[in-house]
């Protein structure tokens, strides 16, 4: 038995049968090449996720209508390495401002991200992007309180607002 190669199975422990460093390098490169497309799914920098999905910009249920509580303007804007999320009900004053702490592409339609307020995660939100529209599927507070579930506001039973893009795509 060759004590210098204890990590290899017994039938590979002879020095002439152990994988050579070039084999290990080739194996590593092939694994990276195979797994690289999978890296698009999963957690990435929020700016990368939001930009790649075309989420940066302003969204509203009815962009041609006046902003209101039933027709808010939701904006996601890249500021350096951060995504800033704001909501306005009158089109002038920002009623809510937070940053996206993390973002994860779940599949070809759904994205989960954390909204950070005052340095703490306030919400974990899952949104669906389909046919250039976006809506909240699930929103859970840091304390576990569920605000939206399966696209429905839990407190009222009303469906989540479906937002359309207002204006041109921002990259």
pTM over 0.85: no
Q: Is the pLDDT of residue 75 over 60?
A: yes
Judged by average pLDDT, the poorest of 17-26, 48-57, 59-68 is 17-26
Residue 168 pLDDT level (bands cut at 50, 70, 90): low
Joined together, the tokens standing for residue 4 give: 């210098």
| Token code pair at residue 85 | 């999320």
Distance CA 89, CA 87 (A): 7
According to the model, what pLDDT value does residue 170 have? 59
The reported pLDDT for the residue numbered 5 is 37
Residue 124: name the closest of 114, 116, 134 by CA: 114
pLDDT tier at 167, thresholds 50, 70, 90: confident
> What is the dihedral sign for C-alpha 114, 97, 154, 56?
negative
Q: What is the pLDDT, as a whole number, of residue 103?
A: 95
Report, as an integer, the average pLDDT of 152-160.
96
What average pLDDT is seen over the chain?
A: 80
Identify the pLDDT of residue 169. 60
pLDDT, tens only, 81-136? 899 999 999 988 888 899 999 999 999 899 999 999 999 999 999 999 988 899 99
70 or 21: which carries more pLDDT confidence? 70
The H or E element containing residue 139 is strand 133-141
Measured between alpha carbons, how far is residue 18 from residues 5, 24, 30, 85 in Å?
Answer: 8, 10, 19, 54
């Amino acid at each position: 038995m060759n004590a210098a190669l204890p990590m290899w199975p017994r039938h590979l422990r002879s020095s002439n049968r152990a994988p050579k460093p070039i084999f290990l390098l080739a194996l590593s490169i092939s694994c990276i090449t195979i797994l690289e497309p999978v890296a698009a799914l999963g957690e990435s920098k929020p700016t990368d996720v939001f930009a790649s999905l075309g989420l940066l910009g302003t969204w509203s249920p009815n962009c041609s209508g006046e902003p209101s509580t039933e027709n808010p303007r939701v904006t996601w804007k890249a500021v350096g390495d951060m995504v800033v999320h704001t909501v306005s009900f009158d089109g002038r004053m920002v009623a809510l401002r937070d940053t996206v702490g993390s973002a994860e592409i779940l599949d070809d339609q759904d994205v989960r991200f954390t909204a950070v307020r005052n340095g703490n995660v306030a919400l974990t939100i899952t949104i669906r992007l389909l046919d250039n529209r976006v809506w909240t599927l699930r929103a859970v507070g840091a304390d576990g309180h569920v605000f939206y579930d399966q696209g429905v506001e839990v407190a009222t039973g009303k469906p989540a607002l479906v937002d359309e893009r207002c204006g041109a795509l921002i990259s």
